[in-house]
Structure 1
């Protein structure tokens, strides 16, 4: 299934849902498709914004079927969920295990608990988790330029894979001039924190605003434990650098609190000498127990994307950056610590990846 445009008037199009079938099912790459004359199979009815009606996801019923024939659809009397969201895009609905989460569940497995995921316009709606007290920092899939994600089930490793767009933030002209922006490096690190003495107190006014906290207590502000992390896509004299770092705070619930909070930031403000670029700082709190004395960081780096995963992916941040000096062989990687407490790098593994092979067949 896929979304298509159907002309409504001479100058106006609305979105509809279409279907296509593989021409040769024995082709492992499914390179040729046939569009039946019965398209579209779903059209927007009354009360639906037909310019924001796209990117469907199919779901397998546990009883053993996808749809009767995928061609005839009936709108249910009551929707699964309804809200004035504006854009509602790329929905996913899949089962999860109630007890434990070591493996994902295929959609054919019966479950009494499911995840409803979608992409919304910024600020349109907020969902309430099962346990609001455990979501004090309003957890998200990704805290950066990540949009319109889709999921699929990997039956080999029994896991759900989610991937999405890395929102573009530069001009179309500059994008074309840069050419292909494939991965350059994959870096995995482990930091050891021998001592948590001297951890700075968290300002209560910033306790639920990671992005503002990252701006106020940024990489150039010395802390008790942190900031420590990576400078990636750095030029030889550090005129350009993108910073990914952690910083530890004492929770602000009460003056005697011993709970620690870990902040993760991706700061691209020094990523380019060009001044006319969108370079926001992104941040999120990391759901990890730093008292165990260690935290991991993995960063995927290419010519314009830095995607970082803190504590095994508990917090993910994607940034778009556009260095002018730190490109290709001129790009460097540095580990840094701007906190009073010593930080030990117990592991640093980096891979450079070969150029992508584009199959034009």
Structure 2
């Protein structure tokens, strides 16, 4: 198992954000490895922020992360292991064409971050969700790609909840209604619900909801509107924020 995490190597406060790296064989005992990525390019000069990894069918590992540029613009960047035969993945390479996604029209340059693990849509293209807001409405944008270097923004927003503010660290994944095993991110159809989770920047709390995902129309609908993201269930009721899930 590989754990990448937000880390300030110089202080116990937020700032100078890098990607720490640890590995484990049992999720209990961990070996800390050298820092995986540091802010060393113009597109992540002010921080290597939260992102996600996607394991492709051919064994490739794709990493998308938010970089805060030298002009404080939030952009999405691509990285990947230099050597897949290295079980520790000690060397990550940043794509020479970064950034691969920039804030679209109508989205604030400081309100566009934290890409999810990718999933495959019905057209065979990969999709990635990113958190944002419009005024005080929290939203989830979805991009599609075939190669992870060029992206198309899908029309509209996948979901929006007025009054919830900026959505960070969005998570989106399927769960079975009649089984107990986890599901690959691309699974959809009968007996499947989708969890949409967001970290509310204004409240510093993590909320989630169950609903139905319509990939044709790029829409997710909560089962219970009164328990929608940001106004219903919390992931945890203690001090718990900016969480990320993974599929084992």
Q: State the TM-score, normalizing by the size of structure 2.
A: 0.52
CA deviation map 1:157-214 (0-9, x unaligned): xxxxxxxxxxxxxxxxxxxxxxxxxxxxxxxxxxxxxxxxxxxxxxxxxxxxxxxxxx
Asked if the contact 1:62/1:110 (under 8 Å) is kept, the reply is no
Q: Which of residues 148, 163, 175 in structure 1 aligns to 2:242?
A: 148
CA distance in structure 2 between the partners assigned to 1:141 and 1:4 by the alignment: 26
Asked if the contact 1:97/1:105 (under 8 Å) is kept, the reply is yes
Q: Check if 1:88 corresponds to 2:167.
A: yes
- Cα deviation, residue 90, structure 1: 0.7
CA distance in structure 1 between the partners assigned to 2:208 and 2:76 by the alignment: 27
Q: Which of residues 108, 111, 114 in structure 2 aligns to 1:52?
A: 111
Q: Which of residues 52, 57, 66 in structure 2 aligns to 1:3?
A: 66
Matches within 5 A, 1:1-361: 1-8=64-71, 13-61=72-120, 66=126, 67-84=145-162, 85-100=164-179, 102-111=180-189, 112-120=192-200, 121-122=202-203, 130-131=223-224, 138-154=232-248
Q: Which has the higher relative contact order, 1 or 2, with Cα contacts under 8 A spaced 6 or more apart? A: 1
CA distance in structure 1 between the partners assigned to 2:174 and 2:150 by the alignment: 25
Runs of 4+ in 1 over 6 A off after TM superposition: 123-128, 132-135
State the superposition RMSD in angstroms.
3.2
Structure 1: runs of 5 or more not aligned: 155-361
Q: 1:36/1:130 Cα in 2 relative to 1: closer, same or farther (>3 Å)?
A: closer
Q: 1:133/1:74 Cα in 2 relative to 1: closer, same or farther (>3 Å)?
A: closer
SS in 1 for 2:152: coil
SS in 1 for 2:66: strand
Q: 1:106/1:21 Cα in 2 relative to 1: closer, same or farther (>3 Å)?
A: same
Of structures 1 and 2, the larger Rg is shown by 1
Q: State the TM-score, normalizing by the size of structure 1.
A: 0.36
Structure 2: runs of 5 or more not aligned: 1-63, 127-144, 211-221
SS in 1 for 2:160: coil
CA distance in structure 1 between the partners assigned to 2:80 and 2:225 by the alignment: 43
Tell me which protein shows more strand as a share of its residues: 2
CA distance in structure 1 between the partners assigned to 2:244 and 2:74 by the alignment: 19
Tell me which protein shows more helix as a share of its residues: 1
- Cα deviation, residue 91, structure 1: 0.9
Aligned residues: 148
